[in-house]
Amino acid sequence: MEHKNRSVFSAGVLALLTILFITLTILSSVFLKGMRVDLTKNGLYTLSDGTHNILENMDEPVKLYLYFSEDVSRELPQFRSYARWAGEMLEEFADRSNGKLSLQRVNPVPFSPQEDEAAQYGLQGVPVGPAGDMLYFGLAGTNSLDGLQVMPFLQPEKERFLEYDLAKMVSSLSHPNHKKVGLISALDMKPGFDPATQSMREAWVIHQQFSQLFELQDISPASVELPTDLELLVLVHPKDLGENLLYQIDQFALRGGHVLAFMDPLAEADLGGDPNDPMARMNAGGSSSLGPLLKAWGVGFNTDKVLGDRAYALQVSIAQGQPPVRHLGILSVKSDGMNNTDVVSADLQSVNFSTTGWLAPLEGASTGFEPLVESSESAAPIDAARLRFLSNPQDLSQDFEPTGDRYALVARITGQALTAFEQAPEGISLVTHLTASDKAGINVVLFADSDILTDRLWVQKQNFLGQTIVNSFADNGTLVANIADQLLGSSDLIDIRARASTNQPFERVGALRLSAEAQFRDTEQRLQAELDETEQTLTQMQSARQDGELTVLTPQQQQEVQRFVDRKLQIRGELRQVQHDLSRDIDALGMRLKLINIVLMPVLIIIAALVFRQMRRKRRQRGEQ
């Protein structure tokens, strides 16, 4: 009877625990919604603080539509894994937005209205499988003002920047008003009449892009004041700026205004004034700098030198019928010269510069100096005067000795900075004269070249049915637009880090592979050499016949050939064994992991349960005694 009561009591306790577990699960789904514990190595499921701030300060409600072809992607585990991670991140965005952001998942099956919607949004479909079904994996976002932004295809290769791209889209849709950008340029970037060609001139492509993306306001270099509502100030070849305007720029940066400047030791786009004036050529290609502002920002810039780079030098034609030669002063910086940890430069393939200078942090500077684009180690300074009237680029190679250093061509300057002016110049009336930047510090991006913006270095124009078609062959425009977009996005968008990859490598497997290769490589090379020697001997035996009867072998020759054939087969077998040995340790590791996951862990849990049960039984028996 006592045993029966004990069984009933145990069953009741088990039932109560089950009910309690279900109740806690339901309550946690209601009251703990959105709470997560991220135990991944790189915090793959933890949003940046900047993203949280953007989501908490949304002005306009935003709707996101994630299109992913579930059925078409069944044989593509990489895409399915990435799509699951991207979907979970978007759900996290929605949970943290206080209801301002909604997410709708759409499966655009072939020949469905959903597939038509994906195509109408401009999403990119990729043919997959023998039937050529279209795989869609893109994102469309809308707001209440009919604003639309699209990511045509979410590439797994760009997963490190997915959070930034999503936050950028949400920020743009939530704050749809165009940002106001001021442009001060000593170069004629706008459309107008070109006296050199006696015809109308189109605006530079970069000027056209800025006009489309932002509310662009051209400001004369002779101005003494800046508009009060600028969010970004762009300076192109800022030469001979007056003290009043330099002071305005200084105070603008200290107040937290963002500055994007393109300086140059030798601006080839600077024509020096009237091209019909014989003296204009003498004044052409002048240098530009921001003088005292650079020193206050902790940056050094030499206007007497340009940078030559043997590794990144482009080939140019010097005369018709002659082969092209490398021009040390015209550079095409490849991806290995880009800062791959910064979202503005990490995905670029090439950026072209011409007669560029370089930037360097000053000793003792209080600001931070982060290179975005750098030269190779095969670079060295060249006197700018040598390039002013250069006729043969090959002359630059004479006495050119690379220093082995890498030079910053583009750099971001952040942190605390002091003013370059002790007091405001006469005639300037400001509410407050700032002597230092605010707590956020300055945020300035500097280029050591202004020619990077010229069309000839990054775009090709073609006339198609009366319309000008622009095709880019370098990433100059993309880099500049990325930087401007990031500077205007707010400090929250700038602070969003590049996320780590979800594809974590098997480091132990890689170490085993390297060890196995090192262990068996010598054997493989020895066997391969013996095989080559055997094949060569067989060939010599066949060619040594004197009777011309190459198709008939003597018994002795047949025996010798058979011996070599047997040895050849033996060597091939040994080579196959070497290849097998290369993966033996990896297979063994995989088997050990399977045993641990499938057998050992359950066994350990069972043993722990039995031990715990035995301990409880002994305690109960002692209590009964």
pLDDT tens digits for range 352-396: 999 999 999 999 999 999 999 999 999 999 999 888 888 788 888
* CA-to-CA dists, residue 454 to 69, 447, 595, angstroms: 42, 14, 63
Question: In sequence order, what are the residues at sequence separation of 6 or more whose Cβ sits closer than 8 angstroms to the Cβ of residue 625?
Answer: none
pLDDT, tens only, 90-126: 999 999 898 999 999 999 988 889 988 988 888 888 8
Query: Cα(393)–Cα(387) distance, rounded to whole angstroms?
Result: 9
Q: Which residue has the tokens 């091209």?
A: 275
Helices 476-488 and 205-213, axial angle in degrees (round to 10): 30
Residue 528 reports pLDDT greater than 90: no
Element (DSSP H or E) covering residue 272: none
Q: Are residues 55 and 101 in contact, defined by beta-carbon separation less than 8 angstroms?
A: yes
> Which residue, among 218, 192, 160, 174, has the nearest Cα to 497 in the 3D structure?
160
Residue 369: both structure tokens together? 């100096």
Helix, strand or coil, per DSSP, at residue 192: strand
Give pLDDT, residue 534. Answer: 64
Highest mean pLDDT among 12-16, 194-198, 314-318: 314-318
Query: Cα(201)–Cα(189) distance, rounded to whole angstroms?
Result: 10
The b/e string for 478-500 (b: 16+ C-beta within 10 A; e otherwise) is bbbbbbbbbbbbbebbbebbbbe
Give pLDDT, residue 449. Answer: 96
Residue 530: both structure tokens together? 């013996």
Helix, strand or coil, per DSSP, at residue 557: helix
| Torsional class of 364: left (φ above 0), alpha (ψ -120 to 50), beta (otherwise) | left
Query: Does the pTM of the predicted model rise above 0.75?
Result: no
Question: In sequence order, what are the residues at sequence separation of 6 or more whose Cβ sits closer than 8 angstroms to the Cβ of residue 31?
Answer: none
* CA-to-CA dists, residue 133 to 72, 83, 121, angstroms: 7, 18, 18
Query: Cα(244)–Cα(220) distance, rounded to whole angstroms?
Result: 13
Helix, strand or coil, per DSSP, at residue 16: helix
Give pLDDT, residue 355. Answer: 94
Give pLDDT, residue 494. Answer: 57
| Residue 329 burial (10 A CB sphere; 0-12, 13-18, 19+) | buried
Query: Cα(550)–Cα(27) distance, rounded to whole angstroms?
Result: 90
| Torsional class of 445: left (φ above 0), alpha (ψ -120 to 50), beta (otherwise) | beta
**Average model confidence (pLDDT) across the chain:** 80
Mean pLDDT of 224-239: 92
Give pLDDT, residue 500. Answer: 43
Q: Which residue has the tokens 């015209």?
A: 330
Helices 507-543 and 555-594, axial angle in degrees (round to 10): 170
Residue 157: both structure tokens together? 């290769």
| Residue 508 burial (10 A CB sphere; 0-12, 13-18, 19+) | exposed
Q: What are phi and psi of 607, to 5 degrees?
A: -60, -45
pLDDT band, residue 503 (cuts 50/70/90)? very low
Query: Cα(372)–Cα(442) distance, rounded to whole angstroms?
Result: 17
178-426+433-495: CATH architecture: 3-Layer(aba) Sandwich (3.40)
Helix, strand or coil, per DSSP, at residue 612: helix
Helix, strand or coil, per DSSP, at residue 10: helix
Question: In sequence order, what are the residues at sequence separation of 6 or more whose Cβ sits closer than 8 angstroms to the Cβ of residue 172?
Answer: 147, 149
Give pLDDT, residue 509. Answer: 56
Give pLDDT, residue 161. Answer: 77
CATH class of 49-173: alpha beta
- Indicate if the alpha-carbon torsion angle 559, 560, 563, 564 is positive or negative: negative
Q: Which residues pair with 381 in a beta bridge?
A: 307
Helices (H), 595-625: 601-624
pLDDT, tens only, 254-307: 999 999 999 999 999 887 655 555 555 555 668 999 999 999 999 999 999 999
Give the domain ranges of the chain: 49-173, 178-426+433-495, 512-542+554-624
Helix, strand or coil, per DSSP, at residue 160: helix
Give pLDDT, residue 200. Answer: 73
Query: Cα(564)–Cα(112) distance, rounded to whole angstroms?
Result: 65
> Which residue, among 247, 372, 397, 234, has the nearest Cα to 308 in the 3D structure?
397
Query: Cα(326)–Cα(94) distance, rounded to whole angstroms?
Result: 53
